[in-house]
Amino acid sequence: MSLTMIIVMLISGWLAVAAAMLWGVLRITRRHHNPVRPVPTPEADETPSQHANAH
């Protein structure tokens, strides 16, 4: 085998391993992702809010 072919196969092997690891990580994160629930909005009080007068 020529040196060029060895280098090309080495790089393609690295890329294949990197793609497989990325696929695995994305698969795990999508499986364990918890959907964000909307935060309940506090009901409006009828009492006016009082601001602190500390300066």
Secondary structure (DSSP) of 13-27: HHHHHHHHHHHHHHH
Q: What is the pLDDT of residues 6-32, one digit of tens each?
A: 999 999 999 999 999 999 999 998 887
Task: Number of helices (H) and strands (E) in the chain: give both, helices first.
Answer: 1, 0
Q: CA angle at residue 16 from 11 to 19, to 5 degrees?
A: 125
Domain ranges of the chain: 1-30
pTM for the whole structure: 0.53
Model confidence pLDDT, tens digit, residues 26-51: 999 888 777 667 677 766 656 666 77
